Amino acid sequence: MIKSAVILFLTCFLLYLPFSRVPDYFDSETAPGIIIKEGSGPGAKIMAVYSEYGKEYKIELDSAQYASKIGEKLELIYELSNPQKAVVNKFWGYWLIPIELAWSFGGFAALLAIAYATTHKPHPSAIAEQLKSEDSPKKKYQ
């Protein structure tokens, strides 16, 4: 039961991923961006700069992760209707979101635990009732 449940869950989760990303993976555009540091001092922000049809856009990045990568290029993904809402096209953060993974696997574990608890070690009277029942399957066309 557990193997088939895990296979079913992983199949559903992997099919869910490409169709649930925001911005949408299939209808979006990609653009190269450059990591810059905007401002100086402790209030400085790490930003990614990219342009769409001559207009420049900036998105804020995680300072701890990108502070050592200033000047490097990265790939951004955005929808043409909303280019200011771009995200970095990377595996951890666009395809796999930590909170989404936690809720998905937590829900799966809870449902699996409920299924296991309801089917594991049935009451002896339920087993006896099943054993004394002699109903044979009826043939459909008889």
Neighbours of 37 (CB within 10 A): 14
Band (pLDDT 50/70/90 cuts) for residue 96 is very high
Give 52-71 pLDDT, tens digit per residue.
Answer: 989 999 999 999 999 999 99
> For residues 33 and 90, is the Cβ–Cβ distance under 8 A?
no
Q: Please give the Cα distance from 89 to 72 (Å, whole number).
A: 14
Q: Which residues contact 99 (CB under 8 A, 6 or more apart)?
A: none
83 pLDDT tier (thresholds 50, 70, 90)? very high
Q: Provide the mean pLDDT of the chain.
A: 91
Average pLDDT for 116-138: 83
| pLDDT tens sequence across 70-79 | 999 999 999 9
What pLDDT, on a 0 to 100 scale, did the predictor assign at position 127?
85
